[in-house]
Amino acid sequence: MNPAWSIGVGGRAVQAMGEKCLDSDPRVLVVAVDDALIGPLCEGLDQLGWPTMTARTLDAAVLALKDLSVDAAVVETRGLEGQVVVARLREAAAPRYLPILMIGGGEDESGDVDLMMSSAPHPAQAALRLEQLTRAGIAEEEFRLRQATFAAHGVTLNAPDGGETPLQILTAGAADRRFLAMSNALSAAGAEVVAAPTPYTAFDYLHERAFDAAVLWGGQEHAPALSIASGMKRNTRLYHIPLILYLRGAGEVELADLFRRGFADVAAAETPEEETAERVLALARNHRRRQAIRCALDSVRGSDLMDAATGLFTRDLFASHLARVAEGARSRNRALSVCVLRVAEHEPVSQARGGGWLDRAMPQIGAMVSRLVRVEDTAARLGPEIFALVLPATGAKAARLAAERISAVIACTAFDAGKDRSPFVVEFDVGVAEMKDGETPAAVLERASADLPKN
């Protein structure tokens, strides 16, 4: 650790003179002259599993980036020159892309940041947005790795194309002055806004056309917005659309619970409409880009390299790509986890297997797996009833949660079991392993398989 650092950890000032001052590697570099505004945010991020390190000066921040690998940066502009800070942080972090959240800056300081907020966000909100920004950068890296894997097998993977159409934003909720002002700000920025006054019309629109983001109005009560959010998170096609809740008043709102319900952002009542609109647009642009990457990756699903029934990676292609992703994870000092999902054994599945109905369901199950994984994750079919996932920049605990969520969503679908027989559902046994230092890709895949429950 560089002895020149003067840093703060979790809102507490620490002078780094060669001693180890963090119990775990920091994920967030915070640049702030003091803790007056940023202290509570740092403490909250620490508690949510995003260890922070606060640099009091720009020089200290640059030294930290050169010595440590962090996922993102939070910059409080008070006492700092915004764009000078951003440019130097980007340069120090290269070649790794560093997502930057800036707090308190003016419009002239926001040009190159990933997200601008006028005041410090709720820690749960900051953690979610930093996760989104980080995953977006990892998706870009994964696309380049995937291009190399396919090129090695003689297949060209074309660059993502986001199209020329304006960003499509759905606004759902009763008409209100502030909600209309936010919609007008979205339109003024070039987005195409579609208004839905009720949850029913919202779902009609969601099933008729593609949207880059959805803004839900809190109104007098949050029940309609929560109903829409819940329905979207149970639908594999709508699962990834970013949801923003715009609150009408302060009231008693548990923000952490709202983020757990799947909201990508929550705009407080006092948030200016223009800032809310820009946050919506940032999420929409990110979603559009990730969808473009997903479409580019899906363009090779019909290739001879892929599993014919599901369009997922075959066992051999998966092994080849896993080796490349593992090498990238080591070079960037990032975690990497592998999950194995095996169709769980129970009587309805056994009967469906005997009649060939499980085989008939596999193409649909494979398609659901491909839609539920994140853009940067790779899904493969290792055997007739066994799937595997490789999740870059993901630890074992988060990987298990992701695999279990995929299994839970698929378990909500009933598959045909033939005439005069009840439909059956498919659940998965899950095995997970996080790559260790010096471990081969084959070994981590074997450990994930060994982690499956014993039949």
| CATH label of the domain that carries residue 102 | 3.40.50.2300
Residues 141-161, mean pLDDT to the nearest whole number: 90
Residue 390 lies in a domain: yes
What confidence score (pLDDT) does residue 357 get?
Answer: 93
Q: Does the pTM exceed 0.75? A: no
Residues 117-141, mean pLDDT to the nearest whole number: 84
Number of residues that make up the chain:
455
Same domain, 442 and 348: yes
Same domain, 257 and 344: no
Residue 349, domain CATH: 3.30.70.270
Residues 32-43, mean pLDDT to the nearest whole number: 90
Same domain, 446 and 324: yes
Q: Is the pLDDT of residue 362 over 90?
A: yes
Question: Which amino acid is it at 315?
Answer: R
What confidence score (pLDDT) does residue 14 get?
Answer: 39
Residue 148 lies in a domain: no
Asked which of 297, 328, 344 is the last residue of a domain, the reply is: 297
Higher pLDDT, 239 or 245: 245
Higher pLDDT, 315 or 334: 315
Residue 59 lies in a domain: yes
Q: How many domains would you assign to the chain?
A: 3
Q: Range with the lowest mean pLDDT among 121-130, 272-281, 432-441?
A: 121-130
Same domain, 367 and 428: yes
Share of the chain above pLDDT 90, in %: 39
Q: Range with the lowest mean pLDDT among 192-201, 225-234, 428-437?
A: 225-234
Residue 144 lies in a domain: no
Same domain, 251 and 322: no
Residue 155 lies in a domain: no
Instruction: Give Cα 234 distance to the centre of its chain.
Output: 17
Same domain, 52 and 174: no
Asked which of 104, 121, 138 is the last residue of a domain, the reply is: 121
Rg (CA), the chain: 23
Asked which of 88, 121, 154 is the last residue of a domain, the reply is: 121
Residue 157 lies in a domain: no
What range defines the domain where residue 389 resides? 315-450
Q: Range with the lowest mean pLDDT among 264-278, 348-362, 406-420?
A: 264-278
Same domain, 176 and 268: yes
Write phi, then psi, for 438 (nearest 5 degrees).
Answer: 80, 0
Residue 243 lies in a domain: yes
Residues 75-93, mean pLDDT to the nearest whole number: 82
Same domain, 17 and 66: yes
Q: Is the pLDDT of residue 263 over 80?
A: yes
Sign of CA dihedral 39, 30, 400, 412: positive
Same domain, 319 and 360: yes
Residue 138 lies in a domain: no
59-74: pLDDT as tens digits: 999 999 988 878 899 9
Same domain, 173 and 74: no
Same domain, 177 and 222: yes
Higher pLDDT, 67 or 22: 67
Q: Is the pLDDT of residue 84 over 90?
A: no
Same domain, 49 and 102: yes
Residues 307-318, mean pLDDT to the nearest whole number: 93
Higher pLDDT, 96 or 358: 358
